Each structure stands twice: as C-alpha cells, then as structure tokens.
Amino acid sequence: MATGKRQSLGPADWTRAALDALARGGLAAVAVEPLAKELGTTKGSFYWHFADRNALLAATLKLWERRDTERVVASLDEAPDPLSRLRRLLHLAFSSVGDGEAETAGTVELALQASASQPLVAETLARVTKRRLEVLSALYVELGLAPARARDRALLAYTAYLGHAQIAHATPDLMPRGRAFTTHVDDVVKALVDVD
C-alpha cells in the first residue's frame, strides 16, 4: 500500500542512475534534472548529496571502476591457476558486451573513451587501463611469457576487447546471438590465451 511518502534517496542511488545514463547516452546524459526526473525526485535531493555535477561524475566513475575492474579482478581468485584466471577474465570481459542483452560494461567504456578529453574521465581511463593491463600482463607472465612479451599480449587482449565492444555497440546485428555468441567468445578467448 502506497503511503504517498517519497522514498529517501542516497548518493548510491544517484551514482547508479548516473552510470545507467552514461551507458545510455554518454557523458552528456549525466545531467541533474533528467536524473532527478528519472528517480522521481527534485534537484534538491541531488544537492543534498553532491556539490555539483562534477562531484556526481567523480562518484560515478569510482563506481564504474570498482564494478567493472576491481570486482572483476577480485573474482579471479576463485580460479585455481593462471590459465583459468586468464580465461575467466577474458570470458567476463568479452561476454559483458555484444550478447544482445542490456549489459552496460562495454557501453560505459565506449562512452568514456568518447569523452576522454574531459580531465576527470581521462584520469580515470588512464588509471583503469593501466590496472587492467597490469593484471593481464601478470597473468601472461605467470603463463611463462617474458615481461615485455606479456605486456604486448596484454595490450593485444585489451585492444581486442575494445574493438569487440565497439562492433557490438555500433553494429550489433553483426554479432552472433545465443549459443553462437558463446562459441564466438570461446574462440576469441582461445586465441588470446594461446601463448605458444
């Protein structure tokens, strides 16, 4: 039974809504009034939690970094060996875009890449990219590659992910669906983990 009383929103509600808006419409979509309307509240609620749009953007970028990088990296500990960890990481990355579902990982990544001239975005992208390449490189080293070769392979894997995300976003009809998509991801992962 509705009481007519508005639900109290916290900073996490605003940052989740901003992340969804970023995935849907890029950096320009992270705007206070449309987000307030979407959340069914007023701009006053926003200003109770954030000084300005840049503060919301900073919190949103931290949420994206935590969700799409740190949480994924932490989940690798569940895999028993370097090859399993690398496969898991690549499966998670490539499966997060292009399967026809409403996944946001790749779309947020692309929206941020398109806005890389914005200083806060550029700083976050640089930190996240560096972290992801370090993780990939370390896994390739554990698989026996020399550090320089591991870094090259990590860069190849990361650019393959970005290209995969771009194609899935720009021309989704070219991407396989369902079981064919799973096979496609398996084939990509197989090619990227081959260190011989």
Q: 64-193 in CATH: which number?
A: 1.10.357
Stretch 145-157: mean pLDDT: 97
Above 60 in pLDDT, residue 103?
A: no
| 102 pLDDT more than 50 | no
pLDDT at 159: 96
Q: Which range has the worst mean pLDDT, 63-77, 109-123, 163-177?
A: 163-177
Separation between Cα atoms, residue 51 and residue 178, nearest integer Å: 44
Residue 86's pLDDT band (boundaries 50, 70, 90)? very high
Average pLDDT over residues 145-150: 97
Q: HEC profile for the chain?
A: CCCCCCCCCCHHHHHHHHHHHHHHHCHHHCCHHHHHHHHCCCHHHHHHHCCCHHHHHHHHHHHHHHHHHHHHHHHHHHCCCHHHHHHHHHHHHHHCCCCCCCCCHHHHHHHHHHCCCCHHHHHHHHHHHHHHHHHHHHHHHHCCCCHHHHHHHHHHHHHHHHHHHHHHHHCHHHCCCHHHHHHHHHHHHHHHHCCC
pLDDT at 144 over 70: yes
pLDDT digits (tens, 9 = 90+) for 18-46: 999 999 999 999 999 999 999 999 999 99
* 185 has pLDDT over 90: no
Q: Which pLDDT belongs to residue 93?
A: 87
In the structure, what pLDDT confidence band is assigned to residue 158 with cuts at 50, 70 and 90?
Answer: very high
Q: What is the pLDDT of residue 28?
A: 95
Task: Return the pLDDT at 6.
Answer: 56
**Structural domain boundaries in the chain:** 64-193
pLDDT at 194: 85
Q: What percent of the chain has pLDDT over 70?
A: 92
Least confident of 6-10, 96-100, 131-135: 96-100
The predicted structure's pLDDT at residue 4? 45
pLDDT at 51: 97
